[in-house]
Amino acid sequence: MFDGVPGWPVVLADGPVLLRPYRRSDATAWSEVRRANERWLAPWESTPVGRWEELNSPSAFRYVHRDQRRSARRGESMPFAVCLREHGRERFVGHLNIGNIVRRAFCSGYVGYWVDARVAGRGVIPTAMALAVDHAFTAGGLHRVEVNIRPENKPSRRVVEKLAFREESYHPRYMHIAGAWRDHIGYALTSEEVAAEGGLLARWHRLHAAAS
């Protein structure tokens, strides 16, 4: 369907965590989760241009989905719906995107993510990140991924710390988040850093087992 785009589309899974491309039929679930999580998500997202209810309505999803499909088709992003498979059902619980992909001599992208507060603390996003990064470093043809996080966002910093990303930079007034230019800490990984360990998912399983 998307001839010529390395590694897209794809479905990835580990235990109950499933990553897949969005579908048009995700509109209702996406809107329900986004609307229920305004206070949880808004402090960490780019400053909205409009009301949360409207920007996250089922009809707004049409435009979000269209933009995601366009950029994925151009090979500029890998936008995953994050789902949990439980009790024989698949439930939409979050989002993980490898965006701003630049290829040629760079072969790098930025990872962004969020999860429904109702399933926070279960390691869903570290698992999703490990699956997506391993895929990006193999079939996706990338060499490096970056994650930029506000210093105040301790849960998100824990995600990259638990996966042993390298902290490599500090960006003053980096992005317009929740109404102001906010500093960010830059974390990164290159494919060489995880290849010797059998990938990021293998590293995550090993570190997670050692910590518990």
| Nearest approach, Cβ of residue 129 and ligand COA (Å) | 9
Q: How far is the CB of 154 from ligand COA (least distance, A)?
A: 6
Instruction: Single out the residue of 15, 155, 179, 198 in contact with ligand COA (rule: CB under 6 A).
Output: 155
61 scored as a contact of ligand COA (CB under 6 A): no
In terms of CB distance, is 75 or 189 closer to ligand COA? 189
Residue nearest to ligand COA (CB): 121
> Whose Cβ is closer to ligand COA: residue 29's or residue 120's?
120
Strands 166-177 and 180-190: antiparallel
Q: Which of 100, 138, 153, 190 binds ligand COA (CB under 6 A)?
A: 153
* DSSP-assigned beta bridge partners for residue 81: 20, 95
Contact between 7 and ligand COA by CB under 6 A: the answer reads no
Candidates 59-67, 83-91, 116-124, 191-199 — which segment interacts with ligand COA by CB under 6 A? 116-124
Range 67-89 burial, b when 16+ CB lie within 10 A, else e: ebbebbbebbbbbbbbbbeeeee
DSSP letter at 152?
A: T
Contact (Cβ atoms closer than 8 angstroms) between residue 102 and residue 75 = no
**Residue 80 binds to ligand COA (criterion: CB under 6 A):** no
Count of residues that interact with ligand COA, criterion CB under 6 A: 21
The single-letter code of the amino acid at 10 is: V
Residue 18 lies near ligand COA (rule: CB under 6 A): no
Q: With CA atoms as reference, report the closest residue to 83 among 73, 93, 75, 95.
A: 93
Axis crossing angle, helix 154-162 with helix 200-211, rounded to the nearest 10: 110
Q: How far is the CB of 116 from ligand COA (least distance, A)?
A: 8
Out of 20, 103, 144, 158, the residue judged to bind ligand COA by CB under 6 A? 158
C-alpha to C-alpha distance for 106 and 15, rounded to whole angstroms? 32
Residue 2 C-beta-side C-alpha neighbours within 13 Å:
18
User: Which one of 58-66, 98-106, 108-116, 185-193 is the stretch in contact with ligand COA (CB under 6 A)?
Assistant: 108-116
* 70 close to 99: Cβ distance less than 8 angstroms: no
User: Could you list the residues that contact ligand COA (CB under 6 A)?
Assistant: 40-41, 44, 113-115, 120-126, 149, 153-156, 158-159, 162
